[in-house]
Each structure stands twice: as C-alpha cells, then as structure tokens.
Amino acid sequence: MKLPGKTVERLSKYRRTLLECLNEKRNFIYSHDLAARIHITAVQVRRDLMLIGYSSVLRKGYDVRELIDTISKIIDSEESIHVAVIGIGNLGRAVAGYFKGKRSKLNLVASFDNDPQKINKVISGVKCYPYNDIERMIKELDIRIAILTVPLDSAKEITEEMVRYGIKGILNFTTIPLNVPSGVYLEEYDMITSIEKVAYFVKENKI
Amino acid sequence: MKLPGKTVERLSKYRRTLLECLNEKRNFIYSHDLAARIHITAVQVRRDLMLIGYSSVLRKGYDVRELIDTISKIIDSEESIHVAVIGIGNLGRAVAGYFKGKRSKLNLVASFDNDPQKINKVISGVKCYPYNDIERMIKELDIRIAILTVPLDSAKEITEEMVRYGIKGILNFTTIPLNVPSGVYLEEYDMITSIEKVAYFVKENKI
DNA sequence: GTAACAATGTTAATAAAATAACAATAATCA
DNA sequence: TGATTATTGTTATTTTATTAACATTGTTAC
Ligand SMILES: NC(=O)c1ccc[n+]([C@@H]2O[C@H](COP(=O)([O-])OP(=O)(O)OC[C@H]3O[C@@H](n4cnc5c(N)ncnc54)[C@H](O)[C@@H]3O)[C@@H](O)[C@H]2O)c1
Ligand SMILES: NC(=O)c1ccc[n+]([C@@H]2O[C@H](COP(=O)([O-])OP(=O)(O)OC[C@H]3O[C@@H](n4cnc5c(N)ncnc54)[C@H](O)[C@@H]3O)[C@@H](O)[C@H]2O)c1
C-alpha cells in the first residue's frame, strides 16, 4: 500500500488525538468530531480511513482503540526503530529531551557529537558517542533514522557518511538542502522558511 | 498579489540560496542552477518568479542581487517585524539562541515565561518577561508574531489570550491543534508527525 | 550578419489534494 | 414496525500544485 505523504501526516495526528480521547475515557468518536479536533473536514478523515481500509460498520462513530491499533499497524514498524540525534547542541538537546519523555516505537538510542566535552556523557537522557564511531555504532545499535542538528557547514558531509553507513531516514533541521540517494527518505524541517512564511502572511493581512 | 503558500516557502529558500551565491562572489545564476541547489526543477523556479513578476531580460541568468531585492520586497515588511518566544524552556531557548544570531527583518524582541527563575533575566540573548505582562508588552514592543513553545496544557489558553492582545501570526511548536480567528495566521510545526512520517517511509522502503 | 544555441517567460497538460455529492445503512423514535 | 435521521464509504468534481511544451529572444560562433 502506497499512502500519500499528506495522509501519513494526518494519520499521525489522528492517532495522537485518539490517544487523547482514551485519556478522556471516550471510546467512540465520530468522523466530524475527530476532524474538528484537528481542524480539518470530516470528509478528509473518512477519505484517509478509506485509504487505509478501515471501516467502522457501526454508525456510532469509530472505535477509538480499534482505530488506534489500525493506524499503528500502518505507520509503526513491527519492532521498535532506532533513532539517533546527530549534533547534541542547543536544538539537539531540546529534541532529545523531548523524545526521551515519550514511549513509542521510535526509540532514541544515541546521540553523536565531536565536542570532547560532550562525548561519552549522558546528555538529555541519551548517551553521546564520538562522531568518529558513528559507522560502528550505526551497525551495533541498528540505527535507522538520524535527526540532524549539526552546524550548517558539516551537514552535507555528515549526511553522505551516514547514508553510506546505512541510515535510511533523515529529519533535517539544518537549512542546507541535502542530497540523498533513492531508498533513503529525507524530511526537511526548515524553521526559517516557516517563520518567514508566517511573516509574509501577517504582512499581507495587514495591507 | 496573493501568492500560494508553497511559493512563499520557496521564495524564502531562493533568497537563502542567493545569499550563499553572493558569498561565493557569484553575481549571476541560471534558473536550473538555482533549482539544482534546492533540488527542485528549473521550471518551478521560473514559474515562481513569473508569479512575483520578476524577469531577467538578459539570458545570462538572474542578477543575484536584484533577485534578492525583489524577493525581499515581496516577503519582507518595510519595517522590521517584532517576534517573541512564548515559553523559554528547552526548545524556546534553542530557537531564541538561533534567531538572535541572524539579522533580518524579523526581530526577536522578547520572551515570556511564568517561571520565577527565568523572568526578568536575559536568556539566550533575549529578555524574558513575566507572562502576566504579555498584554502590556505586546503593545509596548509592538510584537506581531509569537513562537509558541509552552507545554501542551497551556497552549490553547495562551493562544486565545495572545490573539486577544493583538498577535497576528503564530508559529506553533506544540502538538496541540490551535484555533485562531481569520486575520491571524497560524503555522503548525509538528515534530512528532514529521518523525513518524520519516519512520513510515523508512519502513515502507524496507519492505 | 546570420545561423545555431541557450535560457527565459508563458501557456497547456498532468498530477495530486481537497472538497462536494450522494447512495447505503445502522440507530432512533413515533 | 416503518419512517426519519445521522453517519458512513465511495465516487465525482473542483481546486491547487507540478510538470511539460513551446514560442521568444538575447548570445555566441562562424
Ligand atoms: N537552534 C535552533 O532553533 C535552530 C533553528 C533552525 C535551524 N537550526 C540548525 O540546527 C543546527 C543546530 O543548531 P544548534 O542551535 O543546536 O547549534 P549548536 O551549535 O548548539 O549545536 C551543534 C552541535 O553539533 C556539534 N557538532 C559540530 N560539528 C560536528 C560534527 N562534525 N560532527 C558531530 N557533531 C558536530 C557541536 O559540537 C554542537 O554540539 C544548525 O545547523 C542550525 O542552523 C537550529
Ligand atoms: N523540545 C522539543 O524538541 C519539542 C519537540 C516537539 C514539541 N515540543 C513542544 O514544545 C513545547 C515546549 O517544549 P520544551 O521541551 O521546551 O518544554 P520545557 O518544559 O522545557 O519548556 C516549557 C517552558 O514554558 C514555560 N511555561 C509553562 N507554562 C507557562 C505558561 N502558562 N506561560 C508561560 N510560560 C510557561 C516553562 O516555564 C518552560 O520554561 C511543548 O509543548 C512540547 O510538547 C517540544
């Protein structure tokens, strides 16, 4: 099954919302209710669920637990997938600290840095390894995904190396566009572009 | 002129790339060259530039300086626009520190928090004010844009207040979907969704 | 000077995403 | 029970975004 990226994004949001429902002891939720919580339309929800082949049968809304399970089967791996933060600076630490708080199939197992002050210490809940050991550690810890928070000038080279050593997914926080071969999935996370977009639309509204 | 959001995003990236060109003492750049640097197509570049009404006349590529100016005229405001970070925790500090390093039309002028340890101190290069003063300070400092990095449970209430006090744009780092009235621009920045998307496509590739 | 080329701007076509329309059916209630 | 309502799943339509096609026009080489 090949889902559109946009649908995958929404599935992630659906699941998060559904987990909140469980907390509130709600066991059923209507499509329009789920939609309202994330500010989209009910049709969009139903269409996405159609794409993943989920169907509720009852007309009393979706079974929250069941839908969580269905979505998890789609977007999660069987086994937990190992993640590392590359460059445990200001942003890297924030992200690492945040991740360690969650339990999920995504398991933050290491960080890497080249600052002697940092290596071989536990920072934001995760052990920092010397970047020079990354080839070995990717294999040893079976790391699949890298969260890239190194300075701009080293981002390109580090990416090439990581890909060579077997990394399959990269979440890029630097503002450098990266080149990855097919078979490696890259998601760009461009804060500057986001804020400039906000600024543009704020300006346009004002005028 | 009403530009598509996607085009605005790319304009921000074009400008950043063009500024790099200046550093490299390149004064002209072809559409296909600019495109290659951010991994899109030359047609996309030309189409975006058509939308903003820029035209090069020469066939020796775009004049880098001229294009930077043109884009800046479109996406920047005349005067600098004031930004604040709300919740100067781990993520807020990283973002603030990063912003203070740049000079641009976007000017980070304050942060707000309710932690007595933090208020009235300079953190990551920016003064932290008590959140209780936010109404007054938004007016006093003419703050237009808020970068929201508070804990989940306070995000909704804080957003409503800020909007009431005149904030016009919000970059939301929390994973709570926010409600804003029309006239206020909201950009969601959902890290968890991004990483789950990476995980999904990594998994799919593997299978 | 002019033919060949290279790069642009624009229109046309395609693809992707969102929205609308609607038929089907369980639940509700007179 | 049977009509009514509410909600779903799916197909059709519209909108938006991307890609392709192509005519235009400086530039270059001869
Ligand atoms: N902080 C933000 O909010 C923010 C926002 C947008 C983009 N970014 C980008 O994210 C990246 C990190 O930002 P930051 O604020 O955390 O910077 P930072 O300087 O605090 O952190 C960078 C870390 O990378 C490490 N490092 C440097 N070279 C390395 C190498 N070759 N191998 C391994 N580790 C190395 C450094 O020791 C440091 O710990 C930068 O590229 C920045 O442009 C940050
Ligand atoms: N750290 C990350 O990488 C990350 C990733 C994704 C999402 N987020 C989201 O970003 C937000 C912040 O994350 P964090 O890791 O920086 O958390 P944090 O706890 O380090 O920071 C939160 C800050 O907000 C302040 N605060 C709390 N209540 C407040 C209030 N009512 N008014 C003003 N300030 C208040 C706290 O004093 C603290 O300084 C959270 O909502 C989190 O879910 C963070």
B207: in domain: no
**Are residues B85 and B163 located together in one domain of the fold?**
yes
Question: Nearest nucleotide to B47 by CA–C1' distance?
Answer: C9
A122: in domain: yes
Phi, psi of B127 (to 5 degrees): -70, 135
Residue-wise pLDDT tens digits, A29-43: 999 999 999 999 999
Alpha-carbon gap, residue A104 to A16, rounded angstroms: 12
Q: How far is the CA of A168 from the C1' of C9 (A)?
A: 39
Q: Is B29 helix (H, G, I), strand (E, B) or coil?
A: strand
> Within 13 Å and on the Cβ side, how many CA atoms surround A99?
29
The answer to whether the CB of A88 is under 6 A from ligand 1 is yes
Along the 207 residues of chain B, how does pLDDT read in single tens digits? 679 999 999 999 999 999 999 999 999 999 999 999 999 999 999 999 999 999 887 778 999 999 999 999 999 998 999 999 999 999 999 999 999 878 789 999 999 999 999 999 999 999 999 999 999 999 999 999 999 999 999 999 999 999 999 999 999 999 999 989 989 999 999 999 999 999 999 998 765
A32: in domain: yes
End-to-end CA distance of chain B: 46
Final residue of a structural domain among A74, A89, A116: A74
Final residue of a structural domain among A47, A74, A101: A74
**Are residues A54 and A150 located together in one domain of the fold?**
no
Residue B71: closest C-alpha in chain A:
A200
Residue A2 CB closer than 7 angstroms to strand C? no
- CATH code for the domain in which residue B41 is found: 1.10.10.10
Residues of chain A below pLDDT 70: 1, 206-207
**B chain contacts of residue A204, beta-carbon cutoff 8 Å:** 2
Residue B30, amino acid: Y
Residue whose CA lies nearest to ligand 1 atom number 33? A113
Is the pTM higher than 0.85? The answer reads yes
Closest C-alpha among A91, A199, A207, A205 to residue B12: A199
Closest C-alpha among A151, A193, A190, A148 to residue A171: A148
Q: Which two tokens stand for residue A167?
A: 């990394």
What is the reported pLDDT for B10? Answer: 97
Alpha-carbon gap, residue A152 to A145, rounded angstroms: 19
DSSP-H helix ranges across chain A:
5-23, 31-37, 42-51, 64-75, 90-101, 134-140, 152-164, 191-206
**Are residues B90 and B168 located together in one domain of the fold?**
yes
What is the reported pLDDT for B206? Answer: 61
Q: Are strands B143-148 and B169-172 parallel, antiparallel or unpaired?
A: parallel
A140: in domain: yes
Alpha-carbon gap, residue A137 to A161, rounded angstroms: 13
Residue with tokens 């899109």: B40
Phi, psi of A159 (to 5 degrees): -60, -50
Q: What single string gives the DSSP state of each residue in B33-89?
A: HHHHHTTS-HHHHHHHHHHTT----SSS-EEHHHHHHHHHHHHS-SS-EEEEEE--S
**Are residues A47 and A131 located together in one domain of the fold?**
no
**Structural domain total, chain A:** 2
Mutation for testing the A interface, residue in B8, B142, B180, B196 having most A CBs under 10 Å: B196
**Are residues B68 and B167 located together in one domain of the fold?**
no
Closest C-alpha among A188, A203, A175, A201 to residue B15: A175
Alpha-carbon gap, residue A16 to A72, rounded angstroms: 11
**Are residues A107 and A46 located together in one domain of the fold?**
no
Alpha-carbon gap, residue B147 to A166, rounded angstroms: 35
Q: How far is CA B6 from CA A79, A206, B111, in A?
A: 36, 20, 29
A159: domain range? 81-193
**Are residues A127 and A66 located together in one domain of the fold?**
no
Q: How far is the CA of A113 from the C1' of D19 (A)?
A: 41
Residue B64, amino acid: V
Final residue of a structural domain among A21, A44, A74: A74
Residue B168: closest C-alpha in chain A:
A202
Q: How far is the CA of A34 from the C1' of D4 (A)?
A: 25
B204: in domain: no
